[in-house]
Structure 1
């Protein structure tokens, strides 16, 4: 098992279906779907940053890009 997880690459049909679903969820407006996905991505990145601060450096074994600040 490698230290860095490889992202799963979805099949082309899966991407097309997901894109169609996102556009449909936004009333058929592709621009609104893109904006919604950008907002969702920002939310997920914020959650990831919060979780990174909660993981100890020892547990992560230095694999996380930002080191956790220690309380003195």
Structure 2
């Protein structure tokens, strides 16, 4: 069995530039940038959970991943 190669990163994506942009957008405060990114990730995770719940089991052929455990201790899956 062969190992699956990692997909190449898009050439146009520069992680350092993205980090600099996030920090600049938060008034050059790295701590505020990290907090903003955490909020953004949480928003996207909630949105992904809602979309997963909206997809029918037949459409996904039963391959839906279980929803992650929430920080508040509940599991919506």
Q: TM-score under structure 2 normalisation? A: 0.68
Unaligned runs of 5+ in 2: 1-5, 68-76
Unaligned runs of 5+ in 1: 1-5
What stretches of structure 1 move > 2 A for 4+ residues in a row?
6-11
Number of matched pairs: 63
Corresponding residue for residue 28 of structure 2: 28
Partners of 1:26 and 1:48 in 2: how far apart? 25
Higher helix share: 1
Deviation at 1:43, TM superposition (A): 0.2
Deviation at 1:54, TM superposition (A): 0.3
CA RMSD of aligned residues (A): 2.7
